[in-house]
Amino acid sequence: MRVFKFGGASVQDVDHVKHVGKILEQYKGEKNLIIISAIGKTTNALETVAEAFFAGRKEDALRLFGDIRKQHLTLAKYLLVLEFNPCIAQLADFFTEVEWLLHDKPVREFSYYYDQIVSVGELMSTCIISYYLKEYKINNEWLDVRDVLRTDNHFQEGVVDWDFTQKAVQSQLLPLFEKTDIVITQGFIGSTDQCENTTLGREGSDFSAAIFASILEADNLTIWKDVEGIMNADPRRFPEAVYIPQLSYQEVIEMAYYGAQVIHPKTIKPLQNKNIPLHVKCFLDTGLPGTLINQHPAKDLPPILIDKQHQALIHLRTLDFSFIEEKPMSRLYKIFRELKIKPNLIQTGAISLQVAVDDQTDKIERFAIKASEWFDVQLQKDLNLFTIRHYNEGVISKYLLGKEQVLYQQNESNLQVLYK
């Protein structure tokens, strides 16, 4: 058994969806669970629908959703002939689900509505692709992942109920493989025990794929991407980026932690638990070897460069001049947890401390209000955080010389500089 994951970019238009069919043809005769994201930038578009609805701008929400609906109908029209009508009928059910909700008034929290609305992206994409593959004579079954992937009701970041999900995989998913070699389902979404939609956090489809790979004890998981494999830097910003043929689970977790947008950070643990290799392969050129991620430590890694923009530095000093020890730290972490703020870099002094965070203005403002009970709070904006893993003298001078440094931190394997 294999698990494949296709992200939004890999199914962004007619040609890309057709290409998914071509890839699957190469794996004919093998059992394959296919996890798919929403088409292109649909999730972003659905987020604006949820925001408009929650802000009470019902007409805007309906109009924005109307655009998304049209876009999906157009895609179905270009891809389907024989299967067009059944596909449209199923899509209509998804559209109705959302439109009904949009006619209501919001009475619950935003996250709840976000998940009810945004999750339709994956339902629509998988529906169209499943019918396309049928039309293309690739027999497959479509599975509503909400019947299988159970989470708690932490909307926007559902916590997986592994026991339930495991049992549901046995009872609902595995029987489908007796009928067909290919099962298509949604990444990113799940459901509570009250049949409410949940999502696993942005870019969560990688995580979904890992959950299924782990439960199914798959031979491997392949994530198809629009790059050659994992690179040591973002090639759009660093044209000299090189591709890395093999990485360890641990290295990938570290890279994700420091902000490399390679793979959703939660993806690795379930794979590592069962020692399932992860391949990151090039969607457009399937002949390329891609990157293999497994338990073996990688040898001769190039320096890994991660440049995170839009950083803010929060300067904190205890109001009563008490040392930065357990008490102030635990107060700070409590606020971080409440506001879901992830510190990217922390530097402590005797009575002061500095924290670099992603610059999300409203979160930082709320943070400042809460923290000012115990701390003097100052804010510095428009910064970038440059991290180099496996640094050496050459890269340090190449990338850091001439940068106006605000904060510097270094340990055995990482060097981090916050600069203007």
Ramachandran area for residue 15 (φ above 0: left; ψ -120 to 50: alpha; else beta): alpha
Q: How far is the CB of 183 from ligand ASP (least distance, A)?
A: 18
Long-range Cβ contacts of 55-61 (<8 Å, 24+ apart): 56/105, 56/106, 58/102, 58/103, 61/102
Amino acid at 25: E
> Toward ligand ASP, which CB reaches closer, 121 or 190?
121
Residue nearest to Mg ion (CB): 8
CB of 202 to ligand ASP, least distance (A): 4
Question: Interface with Mg ion by CB under 5 A: which range of 37-45, 80-88, 339-347, 410-418?
Answer: 37-45
Residue 121 binds which of ligand ASP, Mg ion, none (CB < 5-8 A, kind-dependent): ligand ASP
Stretch that binds Mg ion, among 2-10, 19-27, 107-115, 286-294 (CB under 5 A): 2-10
- CB of 37 or CB of 387, closer to Mg ion: 37
8 A C-beta contact, residue 355 and residue 346: yes
| Residue nearest ligand ASP, CB atom distance | 205
Amino acid code (one letter) for 189: I
Which residue ranges make up the site for ligand ASP (CB under 6 A)? Answer: 7-8, 37-38, 43, 121, 187-188, 202-205
CB of 117 to Mg ion, least distance (A): 16
Of 3, 21, 2, the closest CA to residue 283 belongs to 21
Which of these, 132, 16, 129, lies nearest to 83 by C-alpha position?
Answer: 132
CB 317 within 8 A of CB 352: yes
Residue with Cβ nearer Mg ion (118 or 355): 118
Give the one residue of 10, 32, 37, 222 binding Mg ion; rule: CB under 5 A. Answer: 37
- Is residue 228 within 8 Å of residue 290, measured between CB atoms? yes
Q: Nearest-CA neighbor of 11 among 284, 331, 301, 376?
A: 284
Only segment of 4-12, 108-116, 144-152, 277-285 that touches Mg ion (CB under 5 A): 4-12
Residue 380's region, left for phi above 0, alpha for psi from -120 to 50, else beta, is beta
Find which of ligand ASP, Mg ion, none residue 202 binds, CB within 5 to 8 Å per kind: ligand ASP
Give the separation between CA 420 and CA 415, rounded to whole angstroms: 17
Task: Please name every residue paired with 353 in a beta bridge, in sequence order, or none if there are none.
Answer: 316, 348
CB of 190 to ligand ASP, least distance (A): 12
- Cβ closer to ligand ASP: 262 or 332? 262
Q: How far is the CB of 189 from ligand ASP (least distance, A)?
A: 8
Cβ at position 42, least distance to Mg ion in Å: 9
What does 187 bind: Mg ion, ligand ASP, none (CB cut-off 5 to 8 Å by kind)? ligand ASP
User: What is the nearest approach in angstroms of ligand ASP to the Cβ of residue 50?
Assistant: 13
CB of 209 to Mg ion, least distance (A): 12
Q: Which is nearer to ligand ASP, 75 or 415 (CB)?
A: 75
Question: Is the CB of 131 or the CB of 188 nearer to ligand ASP?
Answer: 188
Q: Segment contacting Mg ion (CB under 5 A): 7-15, 315-323, 346-354, 380-388?
A: 7-15
Pairing of strands 32-36, 182-186: parallel
- Report the alpha-carbon distance of residue 288 to residue 4 in Å, rounded: 16
Binding Mg ion (rule: CB under 5 A), the pick from 8, 121, 229, 303 is 8
Q: Which stretch binds Mg ion (CB under 5 A): 33-41, 114-122, 279-287, 309-317?
A: 33-41
Q: For the segment 187-216, give every residue that binds Mg ion (CB under 5 A).
A: none
> Minimum distance from CB of 5 to Mg ion (Å)?
10
CA triplet 199, 146, 210: central angle to 5 degrees? 65
Residues in 293-322 at the binding interface with Mg ion, rule: CB under 5 A: none
Q: Give the torsion sign (CA, 40, 311, 330, 368).
A: negative
Q: Enumerate the H helices of 258-360 as residue ranges.
A: 268-274, 326-339
Q: Spell out the residues 6+ positions from residue 379 whose beta carbon is closer than 8 angstroms to its own.
A: 312, 313, 314, 315, 364, 368
Would you say 124 and 189 are in contact if contact means Cβ atoms under 8 Å apart? no
> Residues in the site for Mg ion, rule: CB under 5 A?
7-8, 37
